[in-house]
Chains A and B, each alone.
Chain A
Amino acid sequence: MDLSFSPEELAFRDEVREWIRTAMPPRLRAIAEVDGHFGVDETMEWHRILHRKGWVAPHWPRKFGGPGLDVTRRFILTEELELSGAPQLLPFGLSMVGPLIMQFGDEAQQARYLPKILSGEEKWCQGYSEPNAGSDLAAVRLTAEDAGDHFVLNGQKTWTTYAQYADWIFLLARTDTGAKKQAGISFLLCDMKSEGVRVRPTLTIGGTHAFCDTFFEDVRVPKENLVGPLHGGWTLAKALLGHERTLVAAVGSSARTLLRAKRIAQSTTRGGRPLADDPVVRAKIARMECRLEALKMANYRALAGAKQGHAPGAESSILKLCGSEIIQGMYELCLDLMGADALTWMNEPGVVPAWEDWVGPNYNYLRAATIYAGSNEIQKNIIAKLILGLPS
């Protein structure tokens, strides 16, 4: 057993750090420095910079334009990017539909969609949940009726994050209304500019319009936009949940937020002494630090397993559960350390220190972390059944 990176891997980490330091434009750096909020424009600006470097999709194989990095270097790159405070790229193309098109799409689909996901020319959103199909995803009701050379879509998707900015949506649609729940679903790609698509952004408790409701009224989708077999979309849906699970440990983001907590504890005083001198505060921070170290070890174990080509095992099933709770815990810690500054909400700069501005909104929004990508309760149902073998 060995916990260390090789000299070559460490050299790669230094290379990544140095590149981030020089490649990030001053405007983005200023936001990153105080952990501020990146809008879609800034996020896409960073996306294009990473694309020019060839690092926008560390997990994509070389064949599809990825950098061809091994598992460890992918991990290092991802962690360093998160730790730097750089904008977090939109995952819908790069991490969700992209890998599915690689796995299940035909060559024409791969050639049509993948390069524009990489370049950032086309942004994607995810059309999975519906008002009556949340945790029970297989209950989707949006219909795709066979009309010869195309499907006709009618229905509604919800929680379609950033649909208002998206050029394309990938969705689960019911193509066989007579079949059993999972059996009649297909995986379709739909141009958001199609006639009959309407987007209504939803204001979240985080104070931003992160989600949308997306409505489909007699929307025509060409048959060549079907990915995988007709009525076989459930296989893709499940495959995606697998891809998503490894994304959400968010070790780098949590580490970054822990640094923010320490910054708040250092810069906040009580009776003329930094809060960071208070043993109760120190214990509180140390407790989260230990929790993060434990998550890191679980992540390393999953990583080492993946390096050997093992299927994700027991250790990776806990990453989403723990990762989401830990990032929530980190923001809760920051908010608590802010004291009365925690009252602030979307004020002009200067009301509170800049690094405190977005703690409240992020804390609010990140309540979603234990809900999206399969709520933690659903994750527990899966672990109970598949790993512990408990009866249903």
Chain B
Amino acid sequence: MNFDLTDDQRLLVDTVTSFVKKESPVERFRKLRDDEEGVGWSRDVMRKFGELGWLAVPFSEDDGGLGGSMVDVALILEQLGAALAPEPFLASIVLGGLAIAHAGDAAQRARWLPDVIAGDKTLAFAHLEEGSRYDAHHVSTRAERTGTGFRLTGRKRWVLNGHAADAIVVVARTSGDVGAREGISLFVVDRGAPGVQITTVRTMDGHRAAMIALDGVEVGAESLLGTEGAALPIVERVLDGATAAACAEGLGLMTQSLQRTRDYLVDREQFGVKIGTFQALQHRAVDMFVETELTRGTTILAALRADDPDPLQRMRGVSVAKVQLARGGRYVVQQAIQLHGGIGITDEADVGLYFKRMHVLESLFGDEDWHLSRVSSPG
């Protein structure tokens, strides 16, 4: 048992921390958010991430990656979360990128991954549907065989980075009824393919996402990733990895929310004294600290288990962490606003931005109830 970071990991954390400190203050996110013309994130910064090697971390060396672990990814995302950096690391690398890496053949990986790792292109992963809730096997989008490939028809909701991605990895059904575990396949669909309708939508945290309609989209056989009809285990693995990554980003949000609240308590005066002397507020801050520390532990659990070859171990570790994030994370961001008082309600205060991002992370990849039911499943 060992929780120490390796020298390489420590270096990685230092590099990310000092980069975001210099290049990505929270103000940068605000500007991107408020720019109605933009996509909500910076292509230049995404390319910088690529130059620094961060986008290569979880991919194998054969694919031009660094062969890193989900722990390495978590370390990056914790710091990106702390800085509210809006670049689509989660969508393009942990979701779309790893889906292609796990499911794709050599040609497909070579076709997409180098550009994604460089930050020149980005991906999205379209899995949620009306009525699917969080169940990966609830897929009604159909992919029918044509003479040369497949024809995709269906609607996907809340596709992260779907508004900006160059290509979208789509979960579609090649056989079976909605809800069947068999018959699920993965396709890479070019954003410009005829019949792809992308509607940009706003999300609570000031990011954008997409609602995507696939209206008889014709794709070639080469866009099918892996074995037809057998993609569900990969989809679940990818979503568990993304859940672990979301926990890490959430941990960064919690750490910052606590830090800023602590600084405010030390600084703000009322009744002629620092408000941090009040025991009611001290104890609330300690409760925030406790939840943050518990989340630090469960995030490590999730990141380690996300790479576990045993799916039951993986699901359990990831779900425990997501439940802790849902409960502890929500508590911390809510109390950060409360302890800031009225200023915490203004858009000008950063705590509100952390609050919003936390709520988005909580609603992604399974909420507390969904993960609780997974923890309590037999097996």
Q: Which residues of A contact B (CB under 8 A)?
A: 1-5, 72, 279, 282-283, 285-287, 289-291, 293-298, 300-301, 303-305, 307-308, 314-315, 318, 321-322, 377, 380-381, 383-384, 387-392
Contact = CB atoms under 8 A, between A and B. Distances in A.
A322 B294 CA distance: 9
B373 A384 contact: no
B376 A282 contact: yes
Contacts of B175: none
Contacts of B266: 389-391
Given A282-B376, A286-B375, A304-B1, A388 B289 contact: yes
A314 B3 contact: no
Contacts of A289: 320, 375-376
B376 A297 contact: no
A1 B2 contact: yes
Contacts of B289: 314, 318, 383, 387-388
A8 to B, nearest CB: 12
B301 A298 contact: no
Interface string B352-379: 0000000000000000010011011000
B1 to A, nearest CB: 6
22 contacts: A1-B5, A1-B71, A2-B304, A3-B300, A3-B304, A283-B372, A283-B373, A283-B376, A286-B373, A294-B298, A294-B324, A296-B297, A305-B3, A314-B293, A321-B290, A380-B283, A380-B286, A381-B282, A383-B286, A384-B283, A389-B262, A389-B266
A289 B316 CA distance: 11
Given A383-B286, A383-B289, A283 B369 contact: yes
Interface string B294-319: 11111011011000000000000001
B290 A322 contact: yes
B187 to A, nearest CB: 35
B21 interface: no
Contacts of A285: 376
A283 to B, nearest CB: 5
A123 B182 CA distance: 64
- Interface residue tally of chain B, by bracket? 35 or more
Contact of A297 (B274, B287, B300, B373): B300
A328 to B, nearest CB: 15
B303 to A, nearest CB: 8
B323 interface: yes
Contacts of A389: 262, 266
B1 A3 contact: yes
A218 B287 CA distance: 46
Given A3-B301, A388-B285, A303 B293 contact: no
B277 A293 contact: no
A72 B1 CA distance: 8
B57 to A, nearest CB: 15
B251 to A, nearest CB: 12
A295 B3 CA distance: 15
A381 B369 CA distance: 33
Given A2-B2, A322-B290, A390-B262, A298 B323 contact: no
A381 B73 CA distance: 36
B1 A2 contact: yes
Contact of B294 (A279, A298, A303, A387): A298
A279 B283 contact: no
Nearest to B283: A380
B279 interface: yes
Given A286-B372, A391-B266, A391-B276, A297 B2 contact: no
B4 interface: yes
> Max chain A CB contacts within 10 Å: which of B290, B295, B300, B303?
B290
B297 A4 contact: no
A30 to B, nearest CB: 29
B265 interface: yes
> Max chain A CB contacts within 10 Å: which of B71, B296, B319, B320?
B320
A293 B262 CA distance: 27
B315 to A, nearest CB: 13
Contacts of B294: 294-295, 297-298, 318, 322
B297 A384 contact: no
> Max chain B CB contacts within 10 Å: which of A295, A301, A380?
A380
Interface in B332-346: none
Contacts of B323: 286-287, 290
Contact of A4 (B1, B277, B372, B376): B1
A72 to B, nearest CB: 6
Contacts of A296: 297
A298 B297 contact: yes
Contacts of B71: 1
Given A294-B295, A315-B296, A322-B290, 10 more contacts: A2-B1, A2-B2, A289-B320, A289-B376, A301-B300, A304-B4, A305-B3, A321-B290, A383-B289, A390-B265
